[in-house]
């Protein structure tokens, strides 16, 4: 995406970081077989890579469109944690469609949105800049979990024999 299409260098910089991490996330999902995409580590409160991708896309959509740009998205956060039968190709399509919506919306975002204080339903009061930072951090944290899940999936047979 061209920086010149954005009204704000800073918003573009946040978008570049967020979208690059989501590209990495979906690339990781497409690099593993279907079983691995839906495999869940044998520990309490863990999620499959598919669930992590769906949840992270939902989080980014909510944060960027609803919280930052004041456009309702009707997110159902709890439903993101229900294991579905997504394929990696479907997750890629979901990200491609969301990327297009987010890029178009963020291109027209005025610079003053960075300073406006708003209330996030789970994180409290924060500026627009804080919302963008939170979305970038959240995507990175879940990407790290997905990398670990992929590695544990690859090592599951050696773990079982230990």
How many Å apart are CA 9 and CA 98, to the nearest integer? 21
Q: What is the mean pLDDT of residues 37-61?
A: 97
How many Å apart are CA 52 and CA 38, to the nearest integer? 10
pLDDT of residue 136: 98
pLDDT in tens, 119-128: 888 889 999 9
Q: What is the mean pLDDT of residues 152-156?
A: 93
pLDDT in tens, 29-40: 999 999 999 999
pTM: 0.93
């Amino acid at each position: 995406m061209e920086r010149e299409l954005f009204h704000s260098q800073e918003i573009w910089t946040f978008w570049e970081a967020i979208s690059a991490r989501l590209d990495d996330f979906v690339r990781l999902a497409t690099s593993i077989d279907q079983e691995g995409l839906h495999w869940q580590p044998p520990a309490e409160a863990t999620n499959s890579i598919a669930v992590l991708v769906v949840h992270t896309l939902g989080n980014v959509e909510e944060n960027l469109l609803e919280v930052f740009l004041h456009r309702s998205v009707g997110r159902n956060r709890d439903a993101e944690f229900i294991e579905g039968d997504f394929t990696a190709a479907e997750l890629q399509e979901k990200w491609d469609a969301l990327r297009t919506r987010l890029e178009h919306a963020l291109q027209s975002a005025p610079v003053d949105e960075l300073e406006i204080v708003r209330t996030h339903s789970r994180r409290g009061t924060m500026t627009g800049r804080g919302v963008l930072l939170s979305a970038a951090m959240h995507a990175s944290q879940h990407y790290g979990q997905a990398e670990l899940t992929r590695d544990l999936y690859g090592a599951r047979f050696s773990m079982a024999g230990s």
